[in-house]
Amino acid sequence: FAQEATVAKKAEDFVKFKTLTYDFGKIKQNTPVTHDFLFTNTSDRTVVIETAQASCGCTTPVWPQAPVAQGKTEKITAGFNAATAGKFGKTITVKLAGVDQPLVLTITGEVLTGDDYVKYQKEKATKG
């Protein structure tokens, strides 16, 4: 008897993101930032984003609530509140309706206190 292999559907089989990671670089504490992760529906059917779940409360994803038609490009906006100083790496897990394996988007960077950010800007300016 031949067993039919069941292949789990992956989000990557339906949508193509321009990039899965984004580095904000150095940002000033308490200065919220956002980045748009652009994606295109590369499948032969309409795609629905069920959820976009952030790894913590400091990250807020905004995703299209309407179905995304074939060939259409949309975005998931990742917002980060930059409340805590230090290096960070946060994820957003994107789940498509009817697709088993989600896709993970990552944002990274370093939050500097106000004084450290001023020093960083001055150093950057003198280096040209």
Query: pLDDT confidence of 8, banded at 50, 70, 90?
Result: low
Query: pLDDT confidence of 3, banded at 50, 70, 90?
Result: low
What local confidence, expressed as pLDDT, does residue 49 receive? 97
Bridge partner list, 107: 22, 90
**Over the stretch 56-94, which tens digit does the pLDDT of each residue have?**
999 999 999 999 999 999 999 999 999 999 999 999 999
Average pLDDT value for the chain = 93
Percent of the chain with pLDDT over 90: 90
pLDDT at 7 over 70: no
CATH class of 11-122: mainly beta
Averaged pLDDT for residues 31-49: 97
What local confidence, expressed as pLDDT, does residue 42 receive? 96
Query: pLDDT confidence of 9, banded at 50, 70, 90?
Result: confident
Domain positions in the chain are 11-122
The SS3 of residue 104 is strand
Q: Tokens representing 33?
A: 């930032």
- Check: CB of residue 91 under 8 Å from CB of residue 105: yes
**What are the strands, taking DSSP E only, across the chain?**
15-17, 21-28, 33-41, 49-54, 59-62, 73-80, 86-96, 103-112
